[in-house]
A and B are shown apart, each in its own frame.
Chain A
Amino acid sequence: DAGVIQSPRHEVTEMGQEVTLRCKPISGHNSLFWYRQTMMRGLELLIYFNNNVPIDDSGMPEDRFSAKMPNASFSTLKIQPSEPRDSAVYFCASSFEGGPSTDTQYFGPGTRLTVL
């Protein structure tokens, strides 16, 4: 079991550039989540998908952020254009949703983004 895979692990870019973060969920999971963690705001849910469909994107900060899930094994979070205040650690998580109990989310190692 490889767990949730994220790439790149570290990204340094300049203000105004486009940034794309990638995530591969655990095989068999049907829900995928993007979180952002900063010292000021802690861990925040940005968006989540179920069966590749965006269900709740109310946490996406603004139109510069977009997320896609073209298939069950891949998702991207894109920031265009990037700004220094976007500097944070971005986590992807996945879960299997469909049983009578709650659905445990498993997190990836994160991408540390620095926008200069």
Chain B
Amino acid sequence: DAKTTQPPSMDCAEGRAANLPCNHSTISGNEYVYWYRQIHSQGPQYIIHGLKNNETNEMASLIITEDRKSSTLILPHATLRDTAVYYCIVRAPWNNDMRFGAGTRLTVKP
């Protein structure tokens, strides 16, 4: 029961932007949107998180709609090493039980 909906898979051409959508229509006002990714056989890697403002770091940008019911993770220049399963998670500050769901399998192609 992950509270988020993501497409099961997406492809992206190397060097192009990868835009990964996530729906979280039942998000509460105090819940943050987190993104992690898991490269094959590795532990989940934190990417970015936000509450309502758009966020950017060295890895990615996070765009959250004004009503906060959906968000998009943007990898500006995807590389082959960005091929992974990407998880969108919503959680409140006091809730440590992160529900990962099935995620989106992103394949970056040459």
Contact = CB atoms under 8 A, between A and B. Distances in A.
A93 B45 CA distance: 10
Interface stretch (B65-73, B75-83, B89-97): B89-97
B5 to A, nearest CB: 15
**How big is chain B's contact interface, by range?**
10 to 19
Interface stretch (A14-22, A60-68, A69-77, A97-105): A97-105
A45 B43 contact: no
Given A43-B100, A45-B98, A102 B93 contact: yes
Contacts, number: 50
Residues of B contacting A: mostly: loop
Interface of A: 4, 31, 33, 42-43, 45, 48, 55-56, 59, 91, 93, 95, 97, 100-110
Closest 5 CB pairs of A and B: A107-B43, A43-B100, A102-B93, A107-B44, A102-B32
